[in-house]
Amino acid sequence: MEVISIKNNDIYLKEYIELCNKEWGKPRTDLNKYIEDKLTSIRQGNEVIEVLGLINNNEMIGFISLFSEDNNERNDLSPWYATMYIKEKYRGKNYSKILNDSLIKRAKELGYKRMYLKSNLINYYEKFNAKYMETLNNGEKLFYIDLGE
């Protein structure tokens, strides 16, 4: 099992886009066009800084992202810890910790000192040292994670 950057791997990246749309998106009449548009946007570096995939025997079992922006209400903050996802059959095996630790390491390599995230989950991200900042207008909680020196 390994964590790799999938930002430039079209096969894993297409699956990432499909799973993100399924989990957080809306039904689309033309999913293929949406995927191609997102691939173009990611390749151009518009908002996605990094996408890490947890890979086992050439299967992506989960992923996590680092976005330059992920919240219109607090567009003064960056970067954003986003889209942590583990496929359902692999949940409960601590794979989210592997992805979390890998994203923190990558963000430090990129020179960041802090990341931000928003979530409706209660008592989840705190186990990754996320600290509560405020509640956003949409009801989501805003957190930060200090990355240290």
Mean pLDDT, the chain cut into blocks of 10 residues (149 residues total): 93 94 88 90 85 96 94 88 94 94 95 94 87 93 89
Helix 10-24 × helix 31-44 angle, to 10°: 120
Question: Residue 63 belongs to what domain range?
Answer: 2-146
Distance of alpha carbon 149 from alpha carbon 124, whole angstroms: 24
Locate 48 and state its tokens.
Answer: 């996605």
**Which CATH number characterizes residue 99's domain?**
3.40.630.30
For residue 87, give the nearest of 118, 54, 52 by alpha carbon: 54
Lookup result for tokens 């790799």: 4
Residues with Cβ within 8 Å of residue 61, at least 6 apart in sequence: 1, 54, 55, 86, 87, 90, 95
Instruction: Enter the pTM of the model.
Output: 0.90
Distance of alpha carbon 35 from alpha carbon 19, whole angstroms: 11
Distance of alpha carbon 143 from alpha carbon 131, whole angstroms: 5
The pLDDT tens digits of the residues spanning 6-20 come to 998 989 999 999 999
How many domains does the chain divide into?
1
Locate 118 and state its tokens.
Answer: 């928003």
Distance of alpha carbon 142 from alpha carbon 116, whole angstroms: 7
**Helix, strand counts (H, E) of the chain:** 3, 7
- Which pLDDT belongs to residue 55? 97
Cβ atoms of 61 and 95 closer than 8 Å: yes
